[in-house]
Structure 1
Amino acid sequence: MRDVLDATPYDALLLLSFGGPEGPDDVIPFLENVTRGRGIPRERLKEVGEHYFLFGGVSPINDQNRALLDALRKDFADHGLDLPIYWGNRNWAPYLTDTLREMTADGHRRILVLATSAYASYSGCRQYRENLADSLAALEAEGLDLPKVDKLRHYFNHEGFLEPMIEGVVRSLADLPEDVRDGAHIAFSTHSIPTASADTSGPVEGHGEGGAYVRQHLEAAGLIADAVRERTGVDHPWQLVYQSRSGAPHIPWLEPDICDHLQTLHESGAPAVVIAPIGFVSDHMEVLYDLDTEAKAKAEELHLPMRRSATVGADPRFAAAVRDLILERAATERGERPTPCALGTLGASHNLCPVGCCPARAPRPAAAGVDSPYA
């Protein structure tokens, strides 16, 4: 008889993601949601919206989250984990507040949150926690009995997150022409953020140049590069690069930009490149546009053979990793001492974000942390 896995004290999982438009009429309202309070002119939003209109006004992220939900539900059912899964977004339907309201109405009292961001940063962690606090405040104002909400730890160094990307890089290298394959460089790409935000990412004791955001990405990239070397017998040069900058020109952001890096590779005589978007869980718009459109066009202009490896998406190994993270956190909450899966040297991330972790420019309440107003 199959063992029943114990997620006690948790009684539900919430997949929390960014959201995206699902048709042309959604694009500008979606971008208004994303940029609310930042004073960005509507004309600028229309310029950004052109990226979406190239793909029919549809971001792939919602369908990718549906696929991940299916993968998680199948994995849980196959392994005897009885834990219902819900889905809520920050910026588009299904909205987070509506989903938390539904979960509360369904009687769930201890909720675990899986955010579709593997690394520490304000936009990748604390902002999600602020959104959770906003939604809980809205439910409290409605007189509802609030559930306790916890967030799963960062999973950038979990084997189930890394293994699909390792295989993706190996496949992409194999797809290059044989005469340039062994000399190919690997560009590990992630979202650029302001350097000030990077420097204060993660716990206070680790603040400094690049902060936890850069350290964690370098750790993941190094682990993938080492595994690729073991499997191919070739030591490919690699670098962490950035994409999707969106801020004011006078504010320093993490560099080098992926297209600038492609230019540098070409000038240095690199014969080919594989771009591995390790900063993204799925192939959403910033992967499709910034890599598959802009970076691809730049590589073609330079006559630089390029392949883009796959993100993790709904890979069954990632679904298994989520199950592992749930059981680890549940055991910890029960007072047990599980052995966390964390490859490399940085170890497992904290379960509760400490005070001062990934601070916002203007302090706001954030749930699922040491300083949460909703204990």
Structure 2
Amino acid sequence: MGTTRHLVALLLAAALMPSPVFAAGAPCYRGVNLSGGEYGERGAIYATNYIYPSEQTIRYFAEKGMSIIRLPFRWERLQPALGGRLDEDEFKRIKDTVGLIRKQGMAVLLDPHNFGYYDEAQVGTAPATDAAFADFWARLAVEFANQDGVLFGLMNEPHDIKATDWLDAANAAIRAIRAVGARNLILVPGTAWSGAHSWEEDVIGGANGTVMLGVRDPLDFYAYEVHQYLDVDSSGTHASCEGAAAAVEALAGVTSWLKRNHKRGFLGEFGGSADKDCMSGLTKIYAIMSGNSDVWLGWSYWAAGEWWPADEAFNVQPYKGTERPQMQLLAASAKADAGACTAVKTAGN
């Protein structure tokens, strides 16, 4: 524990030192999750049970300096039958939303927000076999292949699946994506909710930090996606941030792991309320990201979206024209020059 605290101190000290190198090396991707497309069950009615972000919302975050939107959606609605074609109406909604995001100059991270399941079938088990998962990604990837600013997030927060089994599924999807000629950046999560706090712990079927080193990408154009909240149990379900110090330590630990293994990472979800402990923790997280952009490609805050309750603690959707305190921190961090974008162009460019 003492070694970890020392590492945190070193990382924060380096991150907070005023220098031209720090400014030039700010993470490429700074953004938010725009939640809503993942709401409801597979038979949900659009604009009644679930929604994608409006152009007005997308423009707001672009004007605040965000450079990426993580876009959650539900696998079952996009592909109603495993092995079957993508649903035309749902795909058009996603494609149109991607177009709106790109129109505002932001990248978009496609996020099947399924937690490692298709309906009640865990990925890797029938009928949601590795082959079925790979088929889904082949069909989606070919639609967005090599489009500038479109990233592929394999899966949101797989859990209850052994790390070794998840690795097999992830590698199958990566092979399928590359087989259709898509050279887009791929973000690969681990199991156990892809938590930074447990990245090097054997939670189920091996530690992510050991097993997921087995990721194989013919183009070597991928990064690991981790999530980390600041509440007491890292769940993102509490407004208070008793776990802020532990969260900062966890991300410092993953930073060290990335450097040690010559890998890159992306913080796909993190968040906190406007509580002073949360705001302090968020500030330290931004410092770690910005001070280590050699390994961190960026971050996307959880969350915003038109249907989020106004009193939801983590919400950064503007309410009656009022900017949330957390959004002020996000915007301030986004002002730094994103010099690290040179490292994340489409493979082969």
Normalising by structure 2, what TM-score? 0.30
Q: Higher Cα Rg: structure 1 or 2?
A: 1
Structure 1 or 2: more helix by fraction: 1
